[in-house]
Amino acid sequence: MSELQHKVIVGLEIHVQLCTKSKMFCGCAAEFGAEPNSRVCPVCLGMPGVLPVMNKQAFEYAVLVGLALNCRIAAFTKWDRKSYYYPDLPKNYQISQYDLPLSTNGYIEIPLESGRTKKVRITRAHLEEDAGKNLHTAGDFSQVDLNRTGTPLLEIVTEPDMSSGAEVRALAAELQRMVRFLGVSEADMQKGHMRFEPNINLVITKDGRQYKTPIVEIKNLNSFRALERSVDYEEQRQLDEFLETGEVMEMGNKTTRGWDDEREVTVLQREKEEAHDYRYFPEPDLVPVELTDAWLEEIRGRLCELPIKKQIRFVEQYKLSDYDAGVLTADRSTAEFFDEVVKAGGDPKRACNWVTQDGLRLAKERGCRVDELGISPQQVAELTNMIVMGDVSATAATAISDIMVTSPDLSARRIAEEHNLIQKSDADELEAIVDQVIAANPNAVEDVTSGGKKSKKARGFLLGQVMQKTRGQANPKVVSEILAKKLG
Amino acid sequence: MVTEELSARQLRDRIAAGQITSVEAAEAVFKRIEELEPVIGAYISTYHDRALETAADVDRRLIAGEPVGRLAGVPVAVKDNMCTTFGATTCASKILENFHAPYNATVVEKLLAADAVIVGKTNMDEFAMGSSTENSGLKQTVNPWDTTRVPGGSSGGSAAAVAARLCFAALGSDTGGSIRQPAGFCGVVGLKPTYGRVSRFGLVAYGSSLDQIGPVTRTVADSALMMNVIAGHDPADSTSVDEAAAPVCDYLEKLNEPLKKLKIAIVPEFGAGADEQVQKAMTEAIDVYKKLGAQIVEIDMPHLDYAIAAYYIIATAEASSNLARYDGVHYGHRSEKATDYVEVYSKSRAEAFGKEVKRRIMLGTYALSSGYYDAYYLKALKVRNLIRGDFTSAFEKCDCIMMPVSPTVAFKIGEKIDDPLQMYLSDIYTIAANLAGVPGISVPCGFDQNNLPIGLQILAPAFAEDKLLAIARMFEKETDWHTKMPAIIT
């Protein structure tokens, strides 16, 4: 039997819809879910005689992403027309960027399952306008909804640097987190804000020789799951196909496949890559954009610490687990709130627990962000320190948090005091109570001291009795210590 | 009284002075349209009731002492490739025959704001592609000086309407000579402003980097008046020039400032191909300037010979893309024979586009195709830059350049229609200004032996329309060519 190894190679093309107020080249609202053809004007409808005017905000958002992707930002960038006929494209050309995209040669750092990170090179990122949607729901006719026509899209192209479905998914998720952090896209998959097109092939080593399988492009994936599964599926399919046919990559044998979400298979769409001729040429209706140093610096000033950097810092600086740091950095406001709590003197581990548990729970209940609860980072910091000091129990802290939301002016300590939630940690006071309990429960004491099977349970019983006598305010840790001292 | 001698400016002044009412002016124009339009065919549509309403409103406001605009009560015409919310905007094409625009072009808004009375929309070569208006998909326009001849094109309807007094002034558009050449053929004044001086928003695009709207008028002063209304930056047109960089001035005010030490350049090599009578009129025109003290310098513009070749690649490339939207899907003609969406495209376009439009779409598509792009489109852009350079160095040596508008006078209807190359060559003198983006004007400078008008073309540096108009006015003051009228109207 011959020796055979293979490696899957994946590059991604990603379209990210930018969340500008208006469309890329006209004043129409860029909204999702409106009545079909209600967010349109002569410009995005491609009426005779109209002219596009560039949305400056979209351009700045695109530059911001370019900077976050460590790209070279072009000082001079222009627009081109990409021609193709389709009913959802009213001008029958798309305004895009061809040979002078606004950003090139960058990279994105993505987290791997091992806890390490990997750099994936970014070939380019450029701006373009989105097309409308063809709806095939009206029997014999197709209908066209042009609300989406002209919304700003950022097309990001990576180098083929990924080597598993999991890595591709990690990149997609990292990019989603990044654009959300930057506030340039809602990146909502269900609304089609992010769409993926992976290019996949295998490098197969067989009998000391290398073979590359033909490249397959999978069109229009709009969930992380479909993205990962389709890559995994392709890996196996291409391997099987190679073993059967031995076909290798050559000019013109790239194919296009679609993803069947129900059957979880890829389906052939175009046999051979058609000789696409988009007849690109410079868009004469728009002037090139010159990005001055001052303008670029102004945009750079809007960059924030990127999520992956924050995540790594949280692990290193605050000794959080990678998982916890990941939960905190899923969203910018949460991560920043956590950072503020720690800066206000809060205990990092307790602060993380509070944010990811009480904080996110309350935020979810109220349909807001953690920083919008009305609870200040200072209050949370105080609360975490009270937990560390043993002044309140974890259960009490939750109760305090619930009260804090409705009484934002009160400090954590004041709430704890007013509601009798301060934990009794005074050893002398507790010792007296422990003595009473020991005296009243000789059987249990017997079980503990005999050290038999029942010992653990009996110890718990005695602890419970102390807690009951103190109406839950005793610090269980202190009580346990006293019990241990007295009963061994 | 509204006479045929009146210019737009004179009419405006008389209306303002209460000597003529705006309604009288409009009625006089419509009376002439009734008489002559069946022969001339200048208009695709006219708006009698709407025009009279506007005119009545102007009269009412004048009587009430309310402020009125700079063209208050003046009957004007608009080429049918500028969008209007009233009536159709057809571009003289069957594909847009019933297209009603949902918005007004910026220039139309400006005319309305200036209280002009819009009489109608004028005929043209389909999508402004042509030099004779014979390519109109909707009707034939004839030259008022000789109804067996073409009015020139593509703004032939506008030029014929002004020459036949079917309006007092008109707007045309000029991509390769489409204002200047018909103005020359019809014995009127035609100005193509600097690219970016007048908003293109609402002008149905042919060659976007070349198209420019401008006035067709009876006198140079009327062109200045029209420029005062239409020039200026438009936020809706990114290619319209920022007025901080190139201020718009009062073109009428500067009109009669004679230019001292005027230096006129001629390009002897380039003008040589014109007909003898055209050359003779040119020489005489130059002599007029000489007598006024102008100095004539001979210059060489080595790349002008390649202007037509470069133009027919750039313009058609842009056109192939600009006209892609007329596909029968969203508006305009849709074939009834289509059975799937690809056929909606192919059949609608095959049925409704004219021959010349199809020819240019094919030329442009070819020029942009992969494998040919560098050899055609890219090379044409290089030529365009060289031509721009020719103008830049020329204007270091002179204030303006003079040459004929066209190598011939108006030709016979049908004479060149089957010979596209001959037709293209009739734009030889006008195309370079579009490639370079500089302004050019055509002024009447004589007649040939058949009493057909000849035009003098003057080209000036970018955004020097004030100077260009003043230079043209110097000539007009010394000559009476602009006062001649075609026999058909007298």
A164-189 tens-digit pLDDT? 999 999 999 999 999 999 999 999 99
Q: Are A90 and B329 in contact (CB < 8 Å)?
A: yes
Paired strand residues for A347? none
Architecture of domain A427-487: Orthogonal Bundle (1.10)
User: A47–B101: do the CB atoms touch at under 8 Å?
Assistant: yes
Q: What is the nearest CA distance from B330 to chain A, expressed in angstroms? A: 7
**Inter-chain touch A49–B102, beta carbons under 8 Å:** no
Residue A83 has its nearest CB partner, among B239, B321, B327, at B321
- Count how many residues are written for chain B: 490
pLDDT at A1 over 60: no
Give the mean model confidence (pLDDT) for residues B411-440: 94
Say whether residue B378 is in contact with chain A using an 8 A CB cutoff. no
Q: What is the pTM of this model?
A: 0.92
Chain-chain contact of B369 with A279 (C-beta, under 8 angstroms): yes
Percent of chain B with pLDDT over 90: 94
Provide, as residue numbers in chain A, all residues whose Cβ is less than 8 Å from the Cβ of B88.
none
Distance between CA atoms of B490 and B487, rounded to whole angstroms? 5
Whole-angstrom distance, CA of residue A338 vs CA of residue A356 = 9
- Alpha carbon distances (Å) from B230 to B76, B227, B236: 13, 5, 14
Burial of A295 (0-12, 13-18, 19+ CB in 10 A): middle
Instruction: List CB contacts of B390: < 8 A, sequence separation 6 or more.
Output: B301, B302, B303, B304, B432, B436
Q: What would the pLDDT profile of B283-320 be if each residue is shown by its tens digit?
A: 999 999 999 999 999 999 999 999 999 999 999 999 99
- B124–chain A nearest CA distance, Å: 16
| A37 close to B (CB below 8 A) | no
Considering CB atoms only, which of A49, A53, A81 is closest to B203?
Answer: A49
Strands A80-83 and A281-282: antiparallel
The answer to whether B83 contacts A49, with C-beta atoms less than 8 Å apart, is yes
Please state the domain extents for chain A.
4-295, 307-418, 427-487
Position A272 scores a pLDDT of 62
B391: closest CA of chain A, how far (Å):
21
Which residue spans within B373-465 are E strands per DSSP? Answer: 400-404, 440-447, 453-459
ipTM: 0.96
Output the pLDDT for position A140.
Answer: 79
Is the four-CA dihedral B181, B182, B187, B193 of positive or negative sign? negative
- Domains of chain B, CATH where assigned: 8-265+395-483 (3.90.1300.10), 304-384 (no CATH)
CA count, 13 A, side-chain hemisphere, A401: 27
Q: How far apart are the first and last CA of chain B?
A: 16
Q: Compute the average pLDDT of residues A98-108.
A: 97
Alpha-helical regions (H) of A183-302: 224-245, 293-300
Of A117-131, A451-465, B35-49, B324-338, which range is least confident?
A: A451-465
Interface of B with A in 313-372 (CB under 8 A): 317-318, 320-321, 324-327, 329-331, 341-342, 345, 365, 368-370
Question: How confident is residue A275, by pLDDT bands cut at 50, 70 and 90?
Answer: low
Chain A CB within 8 Å of residue B203 CB: yes
CB contact (8 A) between residue A47 and residue B331: yes
Residues 6+ apart with CB under 8 A from A180: A186, A187, A331, A332
Asked if the Cβ–Cβ distance from B321 to A48 is below 8 Å, we say no
Instruction: Please list every residue in chain B whose beta carbon sits closer than 8 Å to the beta carbon of residue A50.
Output: 201-202
User: By C-alpha distance, which of A37, B393, B179 is closest to B169?
Assistant: B179
Query: B329 and A42: CB-CB below 8 Å?
Result: no
Place of tokens 């409808």: A45
Q: Name the residue among A48, A54, A83 with its Cβ closest to that of B204.
A: A48
Catalytic residue positions of B, numbered: 79, 154, 178
CB–CB contact A93 B82 (8 Å): no
Q: Which of B247, B377, B374, B370 is nearest to B319 (CA)?
A: B377
Q: What does the pLDDT look like over A286-314, one tens digit per residue?
A: 999 999 999 999 999 999 999 999 999 99
Contact B345 A85 (CB under 8 A): yes
Q: List chain A residues with CB under 8 Å of B101.
A: 42, 47-49
Closest CA of chain B from A277, distance in Å: 6
Closest listed residue to residue B466, CA positions, set B192, B289, B224, B268: B224
Which residue type occupies A436?
A: Q
Q: Which A-chain residues 375-434 have CB contacts (< 8 A) with chain B? A: none
Query: Nearest by CB to B325, which of A91, A279, A284?
Result: A91
Sign of the dihedral through C-alpha B337, B338, B344, B349: negative
**Per-residue pLDDT for B352 more than 70?**
yes
Partner-chain residue, chosen from A45, A54, A85, that has the shortest CB–CB distance to B330: A45
Give B 16-35 residues with CB within 8 A of chain A: none
Q: Which residues of B402-419 are buried (b: 16+ CB within 10 A; e: fewer)?
A: bbbbbbbbbbebebbbee
Q: What secondary structure letter does DSSP report for B398?
A: -
* Mean per-residue pLDDT over chain B, rounded: 96
Name the token pair of A358. 């009480």
Question: Is there a cis peptide before residue B154, judged by omega within 30 degrees of 0?
Answer: yes
User: Tell me, what's the pLDDT at A451?
Assistant: 77
Q: Which residues of A touch B326 (CB under 8 A)?
A: 48
